[in-house]
A = this chain, B = another copy of it.
C-alpha cells in the first residue's frame, strides 16, 4: 500500500520481512503527531492516523494479515496486540483491510483486536477484551474482559463486562446504550486524555533511541 522508502528505523519500528503472504516490504506509516513509546512495537504494513498514543508493550504487527489501519485520535494502550490472519479481509470504503480501526477508538490495556476485524468510530474496547473475526459498529462499548468472536455488533450497543459473545443471536440481543448507561461518556474522556498524552510525550520520541 505504501512505497518502500529509504528510512532509518529502530528496534521498535521496523519493516515486515518478505514472505509468500506479504511479498512486499512495508514501513509503518506514522505521522509526526503520533506518540509511540520506545518500548512499543510497530511492524510492516500499518497505517496510523494523527494524534494516536501508543503505550509500552503494544504490538501492532503488520506482517501476516495486512494492512492494519488505525484512525485519527485513537489510542493503543499497554500490552495491546493488533494482528491479522493471512486469510480474510474486511471492507471499508471499497478497500480491503486485515484490521480496520476507526477514529477516536480506545483499545484499553491488554485488549486484543485480531483480524479479520473492523471497529467503527468512537468505540471503547475494554481492558483485557478480545475482538476476533468480528465487525463492531460505531459508538459501541465493549466493557472490560468481554470477548467478541465471529459476530457483527450493531451501532450503539454495549457488551457487559466479562460476557463472551460467540453467536450472532447473542450479538443481536446486546443492550442498546441509553442515556442512563453510566459509562456512556467513558470513551470520550479516555480519548481526550490519550490525545493529550499523544501531544505531551516527547515529539518523535520513538526516533530518539534513548538507551
Contact = CB atoms under 8 A, between A and B. Distances in A.
A16 B186 CA distance: 23
Contacts of A196: 19-21
A193 to B, nearest CB: 6
Contact of A59 (B10, B38, B78, B145): B78
A127 interface: yes
A165 to B, nearest CB: 9
Interface range on chain A (Cβ under 8 Å from partner)? 35 or more
Contacts of A32: none
A166 interface: yes
Interface in A19-52: 19-21, 37-39, 41, 43
Interface string A133-172: 0000000000011010100000000000110101000000
A164 B193 CA distance: 28
Contacts of A83: 77-78, 109
Interface of A: 9-12, 14, 17-21, 37-39, 41, 43, 55-57, 59, 61, 63-64, 77-79, 81, 83, 86-87, 109-110, 112, 114, 127-128, 130, 132, 144-145, 147, 149, 161-162, 164, 166, 189, 193, 196-197, 200-202, 209-211
25 contacts: A9-B210, A10-B210, A11-B210, A17-B197, A17-B201, A19-B196, A19-B197, A21-B193, A39-B39, A39-B41, A41-B56, A41-B57, A55-B61, A56-B57, A57-B57, A57-B59, A57-B79, A59-B109, A64-B193, A78-B83, A127-B132, A144-B147, A149-B161, A162-B164, A209-B211
